[in-house]
Structure 1
Amino acid sequence: MSAPRQRDVPTDQRPAERAALGALTRAFPPELVDQVLLDSGRIEQGGRLLPARVVVYFVLATGLLGGHGHPDTARLLIDGLTREPWWPQGRSLPTGPAIDRARQRLGPEPLRRLFARTRPAPAARSTSAAWFRDLRLVALDGAIFDVPASAPNADFFGHPVGTTARPPSRTTGRTTAVQDQIGFPQARVSALVECGTDTVFTADVGPLPDHESALEAAIYPALTRGTLALADRGTTDPATWHAARAGGADLLWQVPSSLRLPITARLDDGSQLAEPGRERACPAQVRVIDYRLDTDPRHAPPHRLLTSLLDPAAAPAAELAARFVQQSRTDAALDHLTPAQPGPGPVLRSHHPDGIAQEIFALLLLRHAFPPARTTPAVRRHPTIHLIPALH
C-alpha cells in the first residue's frame, strides 16, 4: 500500500501559493532558523545544493501546500527565495532524491526547537475560556495520523491491529480469532492545548503502540505553576499524577466513576476528599467531584473528576465541573491539524520516521504562524450540572 500520488502544477498558475510561501520567511526569519540549526548541531558548511536553512523552509512549504509533490513545492519555494538577499543566484532545482537526502541530514530536532521558540504567549485575561480564576486552563490532547506504508515507518510506528475470524478447523470444527495488522502505519501525537484559543504550545510524536500516558510524559515539563491541566482520560497512577504536577501545575482529570476511592471527608460544596490508601486507586490527596448532566442518557454512569485543588472556597466543585464540561464540548485542536486531501491515503508523505516528525512539527508551526480563522460556534444550551455529594 503506497502513499497517494501528489500532483505537480505549473508555478505560473499558483500566485496564491507563491504569496503564502513568501510569508514563511517573515513568520520564521532566517536568523531564527539559523539559531535553531546551530542549537541542534545542524549548521552545514557552504556549497550544498540544499543548505539546512533551505530544507527547513522546504519542510514548512510541504505543509503549506498540502498534497502537492516535492518538485512543485521546490519550484515554488526557490522561486520565492530568489527574492531573498541571501539566496545564491543561479542555483539549480534539486531533484527528489536530493531533497530526501537533505531531509534525512536535517532530522526532526530543528523543527522541534523552532516550534518551542515560537510558541505564542498565554491568552489575555479577557479570554475568559482560557482562565479559571487565576489559573491558565490547558487541556491534554491526542491524535493518531496515518503515515505512508514504507518499511521504516511500519517498523517504527507500527500498524493498527484488527481481529478477524479464521474458517473452522477441519480437525476441531472451531473458528479461531486472530489479530492482523490493518491499514497504514500510524503515528501518535500528544499535545498541550490552551483552552479558549486552541493554541498547541507543546507536543511530541511517537509510535502507535506507545500508551498515550507514556507519550504525554514528554510534555509534562511544560505544566508549570499557575496552570490547571484538564484531561478527559485521566489516570490514577501515582507516578503519572506526580510527573504531571512536578512543575507546580494543578490537575483536573476525569476518571471512571466506578473507581472506588478512600473517601476521608465530605465537603460543603458537594465534593469529597480522598487520600492514598493501600490501594493504588488514589494517586495523592485529591478532591473528588461526582456529577450528572441533564443531557446524559437515562442509565448513563455519572461523571467523576479528580483535582489537586483542595480548597472548595477557592475552587468550588460546581465551577470546576462547569469548566470541564465547557472544554469537553469543544473540538480537539489536533483533529484539524492536517489539511484536507482529496482521495484516500495519508496526508503526511515521508517514508521515514524522522521525516514524519518533521512534517508534524511543521504543521504545528504553520498553525502558530497562520492560525485558522475562529468561527462563532453555534449556540448550544449548556447542560445543567447536578452534583452527587456521596457517590462512593
Structure 2
Amino acid sequence: MFAVGHLGELTQVVPFDLVDEALASAGGLQHRVRRLPSRVVVYLLLAGALFTGTGWTGIWSRLNASLPVPLPVPAPSSITAAMRRVGPRPLKALFDLVKGPAAVTATQVTRFAGRLVVAIDGTQIALPDTPANLSVFPKAKAGPNGPAGYPMLRLVTLTACGTRTLMDAAFGTDLTGELTYARDLVTGAGTTRALRPGMLLLGDRNFSATRFVDTVASTGADFLIRAKTHSTALKLPILRRLPDGTFLSRIGEVPVRVIEATLTLTPADSTSKHTATQHAYRLVTSLLDPDEAPATALVRLYRERWEIETSYCELKSTLLGGRVLRGRHPAAVTQETWALLVAYQALRTAMSDAVLHRPDINPDRAAFTIALNTARDQIIRAAGIIHTQTDLVGQIGTAILNGLLPARRHRSRPRVKKRAINSKYRAVGRHTDHRTHRTAVHIEINTLPNPPDG
C-alpha cells in the first residue's frame, strides 16, 4: 500500500523519511497498517495541490498509473475519512521542515549589502461556500456590487527574493488584518523566528506602520518599506540631512533614513504611442549609511518586492488555476492550504536546484509552468522517485534548462480595474493602451528645499 505514496521526481525534495518525521512529530502516524497509510495520505494531499482540477480518486489513479501492480481505487468516502484521520498538523510540520531559502549561494538568492533580501505581503484565496467554512471564514460585507461570492482565506508569506522560495507563512480568516498576520510571522517563537539579523525586508505601503516597523526592528533585521504620502502618512520629521539628498528621521523609537525619489519611465520603443511618465516614491529604511546603501541602489532594489507578487500569481493562477480550494470544512481548508504551500515550495526548490551550478543563469529565468508540467508527468510515470548519482539535474531540471525564459527587462503597464474572465464587457478605460511595453528607467533623488528641524 505504501507504493502509491510518492510525488514522482519531487519525492527527492520531499522524501519518505521527511514525511514520516512530520507525521511522528505531529501525532499523525497510524497505530496499525491500513489500506490508506498516513504517509500515502500526505502524498495524496501534495499531489492534489499539483492536480487541482482533478478529484481525489483521479489523483489516486495518477499516482497508481505506472506501478507494476496497480491497486484498486478507494471509495471517495474512504479517502475523506483518511484525510480527517491525519488532520492538518502533519502538513504544517512538513512545511516547517521544507521552508527556507532553498539555495543560499550568492547566485541564487538576492543579497544587498551582505543581507538576504526577503519580501512580505498578503493575498486572499477563495474557499467553498459551505456552512462549516462560513462559521470560521465569513464572507466580507456586501459592497456596491453586491455580496461577496465566496468566503476568503487571508495568506501572508515571507518570500526569499531571487528563488521565490517560502521562508514562512501564516493564514486564517480575512477578518484578521494583514498586519496582524505579518507581525506574528516575522517574530515567531525562539529559533523558529522567520525574520533574523542579516536579512533585509521589503514591504509595500501597507506595512509603513509604526508598530510593524518597531516589530521588524526588534528582530534585528533591516527593512526597506515604501511609505504613504497622503494625509494618513507617517510623520517623518527631518532630523539631519545627508549628503546624498536623503535625510534621517524616526518612526516611533526606530531611527530611519528617508529617500524621496522620482522615477521617469520612458518607452524604449520609439514607435510606441506611450509618453514618458513620472512616479514619486518615498522609501524608509533602517540602512542609515549612504556609503553602504546608496539611495539610487535602494530605489532599484525595491522593485524586487514584486517577486512575492509573482509567487502569488504562480500559487493562485498556475497551481490553483483560479479555482477555489476543495476543503468543505475548516480543518480540511487548513490541511489543504499547508499541502499547497509544501507543493509550491517543492517545485521552487527543484527549480533552484536546476540552476544551482549555473552562475550565469538568473533564477528568474526558470519557468514555473514548465517545472509544474514536468513534475506532473513524472508523477504519472512514477519516475525519478529515488535519487541517482548519474542524473543530478533530473527531468524537471533538464526541462527548465531547455526552456529558459528571456532575461528580465524593464517593463511598464497601466493599472486598470480587473474584469471577469471571458467577460463580454471591456475593462474600464477602453481607450487606454493596456499592453506591456519595454521602458528605460531614470531615477532622480529629490533634495528637499526646507532645512532640517532644529
Same fold (TM over 0.5): yes
Paired residue for 2:224? 252
1:238 shift after superposition: 3.3
**C-alpha displacement of 1:96:** 1.5
**TM-score, reference length from structure 2:** 0.69
Equivalence map 1:267-278=2 (5 Å): 267-276=242-251
* Structure 1: gaps spanning 5 or more residues: 1-17, 84-88, 166-179, 277-281
Partner of 1:77: 63
1: CA distance, partners of 2:6 / 2:447: 55
The Cα shift of 1:249 comes to 0.8
Match of 1:44 in 2: 30
The one-character-per-residue Cα deviations of 1:264-317 (angstroms, maximum 9, x if unpaired) are: 1111111111125xxxxx462111111111139999772111111122221122
Partner of 2:96: 116
| Residue in 2 that maps onto 1:266 | 241
Taking structure 1 as the reference length, what is the TM-score of the superposition? Answer: 0.79
Q: 2:308 & 2:156 partners in 1: Cα distance?
A: 17
Residue of 357, 360, 369 corresponding to 2:337: 360
**1:379 maps onto 2:386 in alignment:** no
Letter in 2 for 1:268: P
Deviation, 1:76, is 3.0
Q: CA deviation at 1:39?
A: 1.1
SS in 1 for 2:299: helix
Amino acid at match of 1:385: I
Q: Match of 1:310, SS?
A: coil
Q: Supply the AA of the counterpart residue of 2:105.
A: A
Question: 1:306 & 1:217 partners in 2: Cα distance?
Answer: 18
Contact 2:158 2:168 in 1 (8 A): yes
Q: Please tell me whether the aligned partners of residues 223 and 245 of structure 1 are also in contact (alpha carbons under 8 angstroms).
A: no
Find 1:319's aligned residue among 297, 300, 314. Answer: 297
Q: Describe how 1:1-392 pairs up with structure 2 within 5 A.
A: 21-78=7-64, 93-119=73-99, 120-127=101-108, 130-164=110-144, 181-220=147-186, 221-258=193-230, 259=233, 260-276=235-251, 282=252, 284-295=254-265, 302-328=280-306, 331-338=309-316, 340=318, 346-371=323-348, 373-374=366-367, 375-377=405-407, 379-380=409-410, 381-390=439-448
Answer whether contact 1:288 1:305 (CA < 8 A) is retained: yes
User: Is the 8 Å Cα contact of residues 191 and 202 (structure 1) preserved in structure 2?
Assistant: yes
Shift of 1:187: 1.0
Deviation at 1:329, TM superposition (A): 8.1
Distance 1:67 1:30, change over 3 A: same
User: What is the alpha-carbon distance in structure 2 between the residues aligned to residue 20 and residue 363 of structure 1?
Assistant: 16
Distance 2:89 2:320 in 1: 30
CA RMSD of aligned residues (A): 3.1
Deviation at 1:363, TM superposition (A): 2.4
Q: Alpha-carbon deviations, 1:160-218, whole Å to 9, x = none?
A: 333248xxxxxxxxxxxxxx532111111111111122222211121122111111123
| Partner Cα separation in structure 2 for residue 306 and residue 341 of structure 1 | 34
Do 1:160 and 1:183's aligned partners in 2 also have CA atoms closer than 8 Å? no
Higher normalized contact order (CA 8 Å, seq sep 6+, divided by chain length): 2
| Conserved? CA contact 1:37–1:43, under 8 Å | yes
Letter of the structure 1 residue corresponding to residue 142 of structure 2: G
CA distance in 2, matches of 1:337, 1:273: 39
Paired residues of 2:238 and 2:249 also in contact (CA < 8 A): yes
Per-residue CA deviations over 1:334-368 (Å, capped at 9, x if unaligned) read 1211465899x734211122222322222222223
Conserved 8 A contact 1:287-1:310: yes
Figure out how many residues of one structure are paired with residues of the other and give that number: 348
Give unpaired runs (5+ residues) of structure 2.
187-192, 267-274, 352-365, 368-404, 411-438
Distance 2:160 2:20 in 1: 28
Give CA deviations for 1:138-173 in whole Å, capped at 9, x if unaligned.
Answer: 1113221111111122221222333248xxxxxxxx
Distance in 2, Cα, partners of 1:27 & 1:298? 46
User: 1:115-151: per-residue Cα shift (whole Å, max 9, x none)?
Assistant: 2212343432134x70112011111132211111111
2:297 partner SS: helix
1:168 maps to what in 2? none
Q: 2:226 is paired with a residue of what secondary structure?
A: strand
Equivalent position of 1:6 in the other structure:
none
- Between the aligned partners of 1:192 and 1:330, the Cα distance in structure 2 is 8
Q: 1:106 offset after TM fit, Å?
A: 2.2
